[in-house]
């Protein structure tokens, strides 16, 4: 079991919310997944209907962000499959909340989406802050649950609502980018994130080029965490960084 957990794991004994993002555009889909992880959700990306089925068969999801698929009707067909699923042979839960995010945003497209069972609809390109707010709303309606607040990696705790960071009970003061870098690393604490991934997800760089931005922030973050004991931000030479 990963050392990464949410407060709900410890208090209520239930798994944290897992969000499935389905989109053939790997770059756009991964940006949404990265941002969701930074906000304390577990998130997975599927680039096809078959891939989505395989992921859901392995781990039930609490909500779905459904983007564009292979054919013009791909997303509608996927939604219809989810809503009409039944029996043990189907990996889907027909009641799972679904937000559709589509480049097709004419009035008829919206009508078809809601008629097929979408809980919400957004036009592409979708702003993440709005997507997150809509996702939180449908989760509250469906489950009556609040947004995940606490990321825990051993004695390191990150409150994603107040942006408070404590290590072994001691408060750590971080600047905005240091905090965002820490949350991103904490989303998968044993994974090595490349510098390109970090520049894209934390700084929003589309074409990173040559820069020492990640190194300088990682160095300051490591120094602040190490002052409270332990070795936290690890530089994997030639690849990138991981948390532990």
Per-residue pLDDT averaged across 23-31, rounded?
91
Residue 147 has pLDDT above 90, yes or no: no
Q: What is the pLDDT of residue 87?
A: 65
Distance from C-alpha of 158 to C-alpha of 150, rounded to nearest angstrom? 6
Selected residue with higher pLDDT from 1 and 53:
53
What topology is assigned to 150-242 in CATH?
Arc Repressor Mutant, subunit A (1.10.10)
For residues 227-240, give the mean pLDDT. Answer: 86
For 244, half-sphere exposure in the C-beta direction (CA atoms, 13 angstrom radius) is 16
Is residue 209 pLDDT above 70, yes or no?
A: no
Q: Which two tokens stand for residue 100?
A: 């559709």
* pLDDT 10s digits, 149-169: 678 888 998 887 778 899 988
Q: What is the mean pLDDT of residues 104-133?
A: 88
What's residue 133's pLDDT?
Answer: 87
What is the per-residue pLDDT for 14? 33
Confidence at residue 148, expressed as pLDDT on a 0 to 100 scale:
59
Q: What is the pLDDT of residues 217-232, one digit of tens each?
A: 999 999 999 988 777 9
Task: Say if residues 202 and 184 touch (Cβ distance below 8 Å).
Answer: yes
Q: CATH number of 17-143: 3.90.550.10, 3.40.50.300, 3.30.2020.30, 3.40.50.2300? A: 3.40.50.2300
Confidence at 207, pLDDT banded by 50, 70, 90: low
- Annotated domain spans of the chain: 17-143, 150-242
pTM above threshold 0.85: no
Average pLDDT of the chain, as a whole number: 83
The three-point CA angle 87-92-95 to 5° equals 95
pLDDT at 145: 57
| Cβ contact 19:63 at 8 Å | yes
**Whether the predicted pLDDT of 11 surpasses 60:** no
Of 88, 82, 73, give the one whose Cα is nearest residue 119. Answer: 82
Q: Strand 193-194 vs strand 170-172: parallel, antiparallel, or unpaired?
A: unpaired
Residue-wise pLDDT tens digits, 71-88: 778 899 999 999 988 667
pLDDT at 7: 36
**C-beta separation of 190 from 241 below 8 A:** no
Q: Which of 184, 124, 183, 180 is nearest to 158 (CA)?
A: 183
Read off the pLDDT of residues 172-206 as tens digits, 9 standing for 90 and up. Answer: 999 988 998 998 888 888 889 888 888 877 887 75
pLDDT for 80 equals 92
């Amino acid at each position: 079991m990963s050392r990464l957990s949410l407060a709900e794991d410890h208090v209520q004994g239930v798994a944290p919310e897992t969000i499935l993002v389905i989109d053939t555009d790997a770059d756009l889909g991964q940006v949404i997944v990265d941002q969701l992880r930074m906000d304390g959700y577990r998130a997975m990306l599927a680039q096809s209907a078959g891939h989505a089925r395989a992921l859901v068969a392995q781990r039930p999801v609490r909500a779905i962000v459904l983007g564009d698929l292979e054919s013009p009707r791909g997303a509608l067909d996927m939604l219809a499959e989810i809503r009409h699923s039944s029996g043990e042979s189907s990996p889907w839960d027909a009641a799972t909340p679904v937000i559709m995010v589509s480049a097709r945003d004419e009035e008829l497209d919206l009508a078809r989406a809601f008629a097929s069972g979408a809980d919400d609809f957004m036009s592409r390109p979708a702003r993440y802050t709005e997507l997150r707010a809509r996702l939180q709303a449908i989760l509250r309606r469906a489950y009556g649950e609040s947004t995940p607040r606490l990321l825990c990696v051993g004695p390191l705790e990150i409150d994603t609502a107040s942006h408070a960071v404590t290590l072994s009970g001691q408060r750590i003061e971080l600047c905005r980018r240091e905090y965002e870098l820490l949350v991103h690393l904490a989303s998968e604490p044993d994974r090595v994130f490349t510098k390109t991934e970090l520049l894209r997800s934390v700084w929003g760089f589309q074409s990173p080029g040559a820069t020492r931005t990640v190194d300088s922030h990682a160095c300051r973050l490591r120094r602040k965490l190490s002052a409270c004991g332990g070795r936290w931000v690890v530089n994997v030479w030639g690849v990138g960084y991981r948390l532990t």
